[in-house]
Structure 1
Amino acid sequence: MEIQSSHHPNVLRLFGWFHDAERIFLILEYAHRGELYKVLSKCGHLSENQAATGRLKIADFGWSVQLTSKRRTMCGTLDYLAPEMVENKAHDYAVDNWTLGVLCYEFLYGAPPFEAENTRDTFKRILKVDLSFPPTPEVSTEAKNLISRLLVKDSTKRLSLLKILEHPWIIKNADPDGTCNES
């Protein structure tokens, strides 16, 4: 809750909270465009301009912690787990850069890159970095390059946040006000 009490422009602000015997209720800033995945479901996939930045606010920090050292806890949504988490190895902030690669892929193609019929097969695909780019929708070489440089098994070789911001695809497509057109 400490993170959401901050005043960062990309974090949905937490105004307060209360609980009953079974649940905790958060009082959050109103997100007038709704959840990203509802937008993605409606659109199928996002344009490259929308996928590059958009105006996102993070609301669900789940198991987030402030890292001062490497961790070994495996938590998170299956499709977004980095190989080091699947292997139950120590990991650090580089798992977030992996997740950015998964998100970019999902925004552009409408499905996560390592999705399989079951958990075991998904884990296998993640560990092999079994990455392929479907022919449709048409996605630029620059976007594929960024994704490929984030979805790297060796966490020390993933692009840093600074390099992500400097990547030609981000520079070319950044559109802070991008949303899908409703039909």
Structure 2
Amino acid sequence: MDAPATPLKPAVAAGQPVDRPSREQAEAAVRTLIAWAGDDPNREGLLETPARVAKAYGELFAGYGQDAEAVLSKTFKEVGGYDDLVLVKDIPFYAHCEHHMVPFYGKAHIAYLPHDGVVGLSKLARLVEVFARRLQTQETMTAQIIDAINENLGPRGAAVMLEAEHMCMTMRGVKAHDVKTVTHRFTGVFAEDRVEQDRFFAMVAGRR
């Protein structure tokens, strides 16, 4: 039997560093959950599962070690005078609900009106990954993405929309299938001008 894991200190304020347990403690926790679920963590098929889960968590929650500011740090100012809407749509993402720790997944659509240059298009997809690979709610993730764009790019306006299916609704609870949750947020010109909002929705829908 493994030695009991050392108790963790209480969580600190949101956004502050936490005392992370060791890899060994994480694997012990997985063994405990397997046993609690009703299976034998020592049977052949499950012997390596704790190590695999710990490794997978390192990838699934890699966003805690990533920085949105670094992702958006490089911009391009030589854009031939282009100052109209930039839209990257249908960015796939996979996140985990912070309430049940089961996945929710879908697509993100991001648009902004440049003020002083543009950012590489792939960086917007990377930005989504920064926040998706954490324990999340869709509402919080929507706000985090647009706040990062505003803080680091200073655009004249920004728009973010997420469409996702939540496994906490399909695998458990009400077991409602094919239900999508849509969240969006507008800032700057998009928040002030309904025409710009409509243009954003039309472009996301592929009507322009």
Tell me the TM-score normalised to structure 1 length. Answer: 0.26
User: Per chain length, whose mean CA-contact separation is higher, i.e. which structure has more relative contact order (CA < 8 Å, sep 6+)?
Assistant: 1
> Which has more strand, going by share of residues?
2
Larger radius of gyration: 2
